[in-house]
Amino acid sequence: MAMKNDHYTYRVTWSEEDKEYVGLCAEFQSLSWLAQTPEAALKGIRNVVAEAVNDMKENGEPIPEPIASKNYSGKFMVRVPPEVHRSLALQAAESGVSINRLVSTRLSRW
């Protein structure tokens, strides 16, 4: 049975290999559930996650925090090869913006 107030991140996709839908949970990457319909795959993975959380609680293990509940600073560092850094600096200068603004704009388009 699925948990109340379940804030985990789920996804259902088609598995060509299994010829079924597979339910996945971003916070529990080792878990999945196969089913004939997307709805059944979602229900199945939610139940599996609920069971895993209950087992973790019983064993005193730390339970993953839902991604949706986490606070993000908006900062992260990315290392790139020097030639990419140079190219980004040039593009940013030509556009009259900072490298940060250039990269942020490009990432937000994904």
Report yes or no on 86 lying in a domain: yes
Does pTM surpass 0.75? Answer: no
| Boundaries of domain holding 62 | 10-67
Question: DSSP letter at 99?
Answer: H
Report yes or no on 3 lying in a domain: no
Check whether residue 20 and residue 59 sit in a common domain. yes
Report yes or no on 1 lying in a domain: no
Domain count across the chain: 2
Check whether residue 85 and residue 44 sit in a common domain. no
Report yes or no on 2 lying in a domain: no
Query: Each residue of 28-78: pLDDT tens digit?
Result: 999 999 999 999 999 999 999 999 999 999 999 999 999 999 998 999 899
Check whether residue 90 and residue 50 sit in a common domain. no
Helix (H) or strand (E) holding 82: helix 82-95
Check whether residue 29 and residue 58 sit in a common domain. yes
